Each structure stands twice: as C-alpha cells, then as structure tokens.
Amino acid sequence: MKITDIKFAMLKVPLVTPFKTALRSVSEIEDVIIIVETDTGQCGYGGAPATAAITGDTHGSIIEAIRVIMKPLLIGKEIANINELTEVVQASIVKNYSAKAALEIALYDLFAQLYNAPLYKILGGGEPTLSTDITISVDYIDKMVEDSKKAVEQGFETLKIKVGKDIGLDIERIKAIYAEVKDTALLRLDANQGWTAKEAVFALRNLEDAGVKLELVEQPVRADNLDGMKYITERVHTPVMADESTFGPKEVIDLIKIRAADIINIKLMKTGGISNAIKIADIASTYEVECMIGCMLESSVSVAAAAHFAVAKSNIVRKIDLDGPSLCQYDPVESNVIFNNSEITISDSPGLGIKKIDGLRML
C-alpha cells in the first residue's frame, strides 16, 4: 500500500452550548480534515482543529505545513513502514504539532487498514470501551450548577469544571457544584492557566478544608511556569495534572524528574500524533505516573484516534477526557468509534472505520 496523494477539507460542527474557558469562548468546532490516498484505493483520515492560543497552530499553518513540507516527503512511501513514516513527519519541521498529529492519525488509520484490524488492536489491544467526562464551561454559578445537574442526568459520572477567572468566585462555583452533585459525580477542575501558584494553593486548601473532594486540578498556572506547578504539587493533597505545560516526550521526562505534577494530560494535538503519545505513555508507565487522554475542541475524526490510543494504553491512561464529540449538536462522522454521551465504544472494522463524513468541504 503506497501513498499516492494527500487531500484537504474543512469540517464544521456547531456546539450545543458555547465552550468557555479562562482563555477563550467558542461556539462551533472547525477542523482541517486530511485524506491520505493510496494505490489500493483505501483512504486514511486525520484531522486537527486550530488552537492558536495553546499550540500555535492555525488552519492555514496546518494545511501549509502538510502541503508544502510533509506531503512531498511521503508520496510513494509504503504504509507498511509506519515507524519510518512517523519519523519523517516528526523530523520534517519544528513544532507544528497539530499538523503532525492530523497526518499521523491518517497514516495510522491506513496502517491498521493494511492489516485489516481496528487501530487499537494494532496498537496493542485492550477492552474497547471507555467512559469520558464532560466539560462544564465557566459561567454564572447558577448556570454551572444547572449544566452540571444536566450532565449527571445524561449519565456522566465525572465532570470537568472550567474555572480560572476570579479565584474567590471560582471557590464558590466549585462549592456550589460539589454540594449539588457530590454523591453522583466526581469533579475535576481545569483552571486553564488562570491562577497564580499562591492562588492555587489558597483555593485548593480552602476547598480541601471545606471537605470538597476533587479528583484532580488541571494546569492551575501558566504553561511555562513549571516552578509554580511544582510549588502547588508539593503543597496540596489534590493531585495536580499538567496539560499545557507538557507537549512531547522530553517535556514529560523533565516534568516527572522535577515532580512538577502528579498526572500528565496527553493530547494528540500537543504530542504531534500517535507515535509520541505512545512514547509518553511508556515513559509515564515506567515512572508509574498516571495519564489522562484529552482532546481539544475537535471533531470525532481525531478524537476517534485518541480513543483507540487510550484503549491500547489503558494500563496507564486511566482518565478519559474525550468530550469533543458529545459537546456537538450532532456527529457528522461515521467511524468505528461510537460516542454516546459518557460511553465510548469501538467496533471491529479496520483502522478508524471511517465510512463517511457529512458536510465535508473539500479544499
């Protein structure tokens, strides 16, 4: 199976409610979709959103990096040599992690199709069911409590609460939500870099003293403030998870060595795809540091790949935050990954099993 062409398309999906974090507010998902064609007629699909504030990638930069830099290096190459292909992708250009991720997802889709197995089996197998949390956006307290109750009614057992705009209000938000759902759901906090280290310690100790049990707190301080992450990790009982502070395997090693976090959030859009995500899971497993699989606000093409990866690495990827598709009004992608509120299941069709994508606009 040889690569013959790489094509580009755009996919837009409206969200049920606007997604608000300490950094941004968004009302629809818009991804670049990559279609890798081969001489057997089989196609591989990948995708990536623009997350300029987090990874620096835009739709334009994703398309350009693949079209101008990566595509010429891959045309004519054998899908069977997946390790060679991912090395070519990773070495082709510095950074541009989301572009690399989109392309790697399509390549792995084809690699699994070549051996006629779903991707998770090719990556090592596992039990193909996952249970994801759902994000509760930053808002007025009443609205956040209402959204949390609704999520629990839909069957979500873990809620990821976005905080990080105003420390006093954040504490009130969490207490109010906890009072409402403490018997039915676990709470994760994501501050999206919105606090200072001292604020984080103050808020978490306040919550701990008030009896609020949190599963974890995610990225309380700025991405580049590893000293701050370490300061918090040393001072609170609540496990601290690094999201924007770690992208690739080297950063994970540094972070683990200085103990700047208890948990690592792996996102394909930060790692540059599946090959580095595998490395990170293996590094974390070696050090017995638990991982979460996360996603950006992205469509179910790339989230499907993340689900396959998480199943195969479930020994260490034990926390699932793949709620992108369930935040959307509908799922335009028919693949072998079924997103049904909190429940994610994978069937046995080859690769990512993508049969059709509604509303795809070819470029």
If the CB atoms of residues 292 and 346 are measured against Mg ion, the closer one turns out to be 292
Residue with tokens 């200085």: 258
Q: Tell me how far, at minimum, the Cβ of 310 lies from Mg ion, in Å.
A: 16
Q: How far is CA 111 from CA 44, 85, 102, 225, in A?
A: 9, 10, 15, 38
Cα(252)–Cα(240) distance, rounded to whole angstroms?
14
If the CB atoms of residues 82 and 229 are measured against Mg ion, the closer one turns out to be 229
Q: Is 162 a catalytic residue?
A: yes
Query: Which listed residue (121, 267, 313, 319) is catalytic?
Result: 267
**DSSP H or E run through 258:** none
Is 243 a residue that touches Mg ion (CB under 5 A)? yes
Fill in the per-residue mask, 201 to 230: x = in contact with Mg ion (CB under 5 A), - = not in contact.
-----------------x------------
Residue pair 11/332 in contact by the 8 Å Cβ criterion:
yes
Q: Tell me how far, at minimum, the Cβ of 246 lies from Mg ion, in Å.
A: 11
If the CB atoms of residues 277 and 357 are measured against Mg ion, the closer one turns out to be 277
Q: Tell me how far, at minimum, the Cβ of 306 lies from Mg ion, in Å.
A: 14
Q: Tell me how far, at minimum, the Cβ of 211 lies from Mg ion, in Å.
A: 25
Q: Tell me how far, at minimum, the Cβ of 219 lies from Mg ion, in Å.
A: 5
If the CB atoms of residues 218 and 331 are measured against Mg ion, the closer one turns out to be 218
The interface region with Mg ion, picked from 88-96, 237-245, 278-286, 297-305 by CB under 5 A, is 237-245
Q: Is 267 a catalytic residue?
A: yes
Query: Which listed residue (71, 162, 270, 313) is catalytic?
Result: 162
Contacts of 216 (CB under 8 A, 6+ apart): 188, 189, 238, 239, 240, 241, 262, 263, 319
**DSSP H or E run through 201:** helix 197-209
Is 323 a residue that touches Mg ion (CB under 5 A)? no
Binding residue for Mg ion, selected from 104, 170, 190, 331, defined by CB under 5 A: 190
If the CB atoms of residues 243 and 331 are measured against Mg ion, the closer one turns out to be 243
Residue pair 339/308 in contact by the 8 Å Cβ criterion:
no
Residue pair 97/70 in contact by the 8 Å Cβ criterion:
no
| Strand extents, DSSP E, 254-322 | 263-267, 290-294, 317-321
Length of the chain: 363
Residues that bind Mg ion (CB under 5 A): 190, 218, 243
Residues labelled catalytic: 162, 267
